[in-house]
Amino acid sequence: MGNHKSVWQGCWGDWQPLFIREYWLAIGHAAWQGFLTQGRGLVVCEVAEATAAVDWERVAVSHTLRFVSETHLERCWGELGLDPDQRQPLDQALVTYDPAQDALLLLLADSPPYITCLQGWAVPPPECFHQLNHRAAEFSPVPMP
Q: Is residue 18 part of a domain?
A: no
* Residue-wise pLDDT tens digits, 10-55: 444 578 888 898 899 999 999 999 999 999 999 999 998 766 677 7
Q: Is residue 4 part of a domain?
A: no
Q: Is residue 23 part of a domain?
A: no
Q: Are strands 41-47 and 103-108 parallel, antiparallel or unpaired?
A: parallel
Q: Is residue 24 part of a domain?
A: no
| Amino acid letter, residue 102 | D
- Residue 42 forms beta bridges with which residues? 68
Q: Is residue 96 part of a domain?
A: yes
* Residue-wise pLDDT tens digits, 74-118: 888 888 888 777 777 788 888 899 999 999 999 988 778 888 999
User: How many domains, the chain?
Assistant: 1
- Phi then psi dihedrals of residue 43, to 5 deg: -85, 125
Q: Is residue 124 part of a domain?
A: yes
Q: Is residue 19 part of a domain?
A: no
Q: Is residue 12 part of a domain?
A: no
Domain that holds residue 50: 30-136
